Amino acid sequence: MPVEPLRGALRDRWRVLGKELSAFGVVGATCFVLDLALFQLLYVHVGAGAVTSKLVATLITMALAFAGHRLWSFSHRARTGLTRESLRFAVVNGVTLGLGLGIVAFVRYPLGQDDAAVLQVANVTAIALGTVVRYLSYRHWVFPALPGPATAADGRTVSAHAG
């Protein structure tokens, strides 16, 4: 392959990856802040249990994240059906929710911690671990690459395996 087409293909791949990562980051950051706020509100001000607070906060932010990722982060990828995508999204988030609940429950019950700050650290740790799992799963399983030529962020056609 001549050098210029190779450079163009690599540039397109990096643009697509950059678009995905930046949009994923914005959606994720928005949901992260909302998750923290909801957890704090429910646990500290409403008086819900730590695990219940985490569950409710996660379910609300999961719905917002699905819309953001489907319509923005991975909007250039194949549309394989709302039902298929939402079910797979729910499975991925169910796994990461289980991880989050497990971490919060472990800190709260076996370790006996009930301080909101300590539980919030456990919550942030769970979110960080879940973020890596979610990005990779969304990119490869929930919103797969197009089978044929795809469109780069700037409208140019790129290979189906670009990003």
Tally Cβ neighbours within 10 Å of residue 45.
8
Instruction: State pTM to two decimals.
Output: 0.67
Residue spans of the domains in the chain: they are: 3-158
How many whole angstroms separate alpha carbon 78 and alpha carbon 147? 8
State pLDDT tens for residues 57-87. Answer: 988 998 999 999 999 999 988 889 999 999 9
Residue with tokens 């819309």: 67
Report phi then psi at 130, rounded to 5. Answer: -65, -30
Lowest mean pLDDT among 77-81, 122-126, 152-156: 152-156
Q: Which residue has the higher pLDDT, 2 or 34?
A: 34
Three-class DSSP category at 79 = coil
Q: Are strands 157-158 and 150-151 parallel, antiparallel or unpaired?
A: antiparallel
Max mean pLDDT among 19-28, 126-135, 153-162 falls in 19-28
Report CA 136 to chain centroid distance, whole Å.
9
